[in-house]
Amino acid sequence: MNYRRTRAVFIKELHHITRDKRSLIMALGVPVMMLLLYGYALSLDVDRIPTLVYDQDRTEASTDLIHQFQGSRYFEIRGFVNGYAPIQRAIDRGDILMAVVIQKDYGRDIGQGRQTPVQILLDGSDSNTASIVEGYAETVVRNYSVTLRTERMNARAGEHPQPPVDARLRVWYNSSLESKNYVVPGLIAVILQIIAALLTSLTIAREWEMGTMEQLLSTPLRPVEMVMGKMMAYFVIGLADSAIAVLIGLFVFQVPMRGSLLLLGVSTCMFLFGALFWGIFVSAAAKTQLQAYQMGLLSSFLPAFLLSGFVYSIETMPWVIQVITRVIPARYIVTIMKGVFLKGVGLEVLWGELGLLTLYAAVVFLFATRKLNQKLV
């Protein structure tokens, strides 16, 4: 590989990028827009759940139970109704996710020490959210039940019994359990995958459509030099996108940075190499810019979003899908991002992911070079 020829391709491609102001603004602006949009919109937190109450008892005991829900940050009482029909209409319209129904004679049964049912109605159209809401509601009712039983035992025996098991919870790495701390690092990785692949997916196809490839063929330029030169030009844009995305994560979303910036930078570079080489491979394999764009989008966005562990836990996927995720590079950069941002772990833990990203970049580089050589021949 000749350094001068590679440098000439790099400068040529860089001039092409900087001349097209709209494309340059999009290349730098789209990651910012996506990060802000998804960072604020994509929240996994389930709190302030809109709730209706149907209190058929209307006693001091039922009011006390309602206060338990009102005092929890997970529930927001939107109103009180006098029947099931308003609850059904509110759930059908999507105005509420849950309703609490307190049966008649609830206060009398509580006073006599009887087991008293409390009905919880949930909107199960979103099964994941409904399961979380169910857990919150059961916790409120269970804690209130324990409080009542303890008060009753105290009144009878004058003692203060202690629970046999006292769970002391401590959450590591994300003690506030804010979903943005989990979402934003993974979102940075996914956005870089999409942008990097799309930036380079058009470069070779554009040369053929514009008729400039014939001019390049008349030079001593070799395929490996063309691939490296074009990649390095877009690598500069990718580094700028990475720096902007990390700064937004740190200062806008205030995601904690507990690990090494050096490790984060090296990992990001290796990931960008692989993603950019993949875009060039797609561009060399496609016949038109439209086909290259479609192939680049399908091969970057969907795998990175669905199979990287960014939103959906890989451990809960079927084993066949788990095997497929092992060839998705976004999986490894998402793990590195979360490890560096949240856990503060270093190379002693993440060396495997970094090694696989390096291997992926090398393999895709060979594929892109070979495919371009076939195309030129």
Determine the distance from the C-alpha atom of residue 36 to the mean position of all C-alpha atoms in its chain, rounded to a whole number: 13
Token couple for 58: 């209307």
Torsional class of 371: left (φ above 0), alpha (ψ -120 to 50), beta (otherwise)? alpha
For residue 30, give the 3-state DSSP assignment.
helix
Query: Where does the chain show beta strands of DSSP type E?
Result: 49-55, 75-80, 98-102, 118-122
What is the reported pLDDT for 161? 55
Its pTM stands at: 0.79
What is the reported pLDDT for 110? 83
If 0-12 CB within 10 Å is exposed, 13-18 middle and 19+ buried, where does residue 86 land?
middle
Interatomic CA distance for residues 297 and 279, integer angstroms: 10
Among candidates 366, 367, 9, 370, which has minimal Cα distance to 215? 9
- 277 within 8 A of 294, measured Cβ to Cβ: no
What angle, 0 to 180 degrees and rounded to 10, lies between the N-to-C axes of helices 179-200 and 261-285? 40
What is the reported pLDDT for 214? 62
Low-confidence ranges of the chain (pLDDT < 70): 43-45, 154-169, 176, 211, 213-218, 375-377
β-pair type (75-80, 98-102): unpaired
What is the reported pLDDT for 119? 92
Element counts in the chain: helices (H) and strands (E): 15, 4
For residue 99, give the 3-state DSSP assignment.
strand
Phi first, then psi, for residue 54 (nearest 5°) are -115, 95
Q: Across the strands, what pairs with 122?
A: 98
Phi first, then psi, for residue 328 (nearest 5°) are -100, 110
Which domains does the chain show, CATH number per domain? 3-43+178-376 (no CATH), 49-157 (3.40.1710.10)
Type of residue found at 52? L
Token couple for 31: 């990651």
Interatomic CA distance for residues 299 and 4, integer angstroms: 33
- The secondary structure element, H or E, covering residue 115 is none
Type of residue found at 294? Q
- 269 within 8 A of 248, measured Cβ to Cβ: no
What is the reported pLDDT for 306? 84
What is the reported pLDDT for 217? 63
